[in-house]
Amino acid sequence: MANGSKRKTQLGDLGWAAVPFLFLIGVWFGLRATGLINPTLLPSPAAVFEVFLRSVTEGDLLVNIGMSVQRVLAGLVLGMLVAVPVGFLVGWYKPVRRFVDPLINFFRALPPIALIPLVIVYLGIGEVAKIAILFYASFFAAVIVMYEGMTQISPVYIRVAKTLGATDMEIFLKVMVPMTVPHMLTALRVALGVAWATLVASELVAAQQGLGAMIQNASSFFDLGTIYLGIICIGTLALSMDLILRKISKRMVAWQDKVEG
């Protein structure tokens, strides 16, 4: 009975999640039907689906998806590997925070696309350049969440640990690190979203394959069906990966839910 109830709940959640997208498709059909937008400027959902089937059959779409996912994951992983220790360092030591905080906020405000000319000069036009742009975007998005999360941890926990005789290292490892896990997961989700948002910019660097490259090539030939397909694929992949991270996050911080409950 419990399994059946759980399955019904999951199906219900899935149904509600599909409602906004069904509404969006309905608006899409409605705009085509009303003629408010020139049909040549707005391909129908059926036309985009035909492009999807053709691209899958020819194998181009799967290759482009694979390349984009590979680049996003590489930039994301590298960004998180640097952002987590830097976030701990900035959040734990106030003098470091005072020195680094203005620099982080300065570079965070710079759009990655503005750095493409410099990236090409210093790193060329290969995969390293594309991943570097994604790393840049992921790192600054994640490190902000990390150290802001650390600074918001209640000092009561630290005082209690010190009262019990804990050393600074013990406080860091047994208090700060566990309590920062939710912020790490949030930083990962934010960085993932920013990485996907930066994908097209990164693939401006002479990319031959990838969803961003597919969109750019299609724009040269005014192939709106392919452009729409690329946009839908990026959104779908980003949403799917975020949902997976949400489930992982929910399991990893289940102890926090129990404490709060």
- Does the structure show a pLDDT above 90 at 92? no
Closest residue by Cα to residue 194 from 240, 131, 237, 142:
142
Split at pLDDT 50, 70, 90, the class of 28 is: confident
If you average pLDDT over residues 75-81, what whole number do you get? Answer: 94
Closest residue by Cα to residue 224 from 39, 43, 27:
43
Tokens of 134: 């994604």
Q: Residue 124, SS3?
A: coil
Split at pLDDT 50, 70, 90, the class of 15 is: low
Buried b (16+ CB within 10 A) or exposed e, 106-131: eeeeeebeebbeebeeebeeebebbb
Q: Write the single-letter amino acid at 2.
A: A
Q: Write the single-letter amino acid at 258.
A: K
- Does the structure show a pLDDT above 80 at 257? no
Q: Which residues touch 101 (CB under 8 Å, ≥6 apart)?
A: 90
pLDDT at site 260: 43
Q: Which carries the bigger pLDDT value, residue 232 or residue 7?
A: 232
Q: Give the span between the Cα atoms of 27 and 241, in whole angstroms.
A: 26
The residue whose two tokens read 């804990």 is: 166
Q: Give the span between the Cα atoms of 83 and 136, in whole angstroms.
A: 10
- Does the structure show a pLDDT above 60 at 194? yes
Q: CB burial class (10 A; 0-12, 13-18, 19+) of residue 202?
A: buried
- Record the pTM: 0.83
- Most confident listed range (17-26, 72-81, 195-204): 72-81
Q: Give the span between the Cα atoms of 35 and 44, in whole angstroms.
A: 12
Looking at 152-261, list the stretches that DSSP marks H as alpha helix, in order from N- to C-terminal side. Answer: 155-163, 168-171, 177-202, 211-220, 224-252, 254-260
Average pLDDT of the chain, as a whole number? 83
- Most confident listed range (6-10, 29-33, 234-238): 234-238
Split at pLDDT 50, 70, 90, the class of 1 is: very low
Split at pLDDT 50, 70, 90, the class of 91 is: confident
Q: Residue 154, SS3?
A: coil
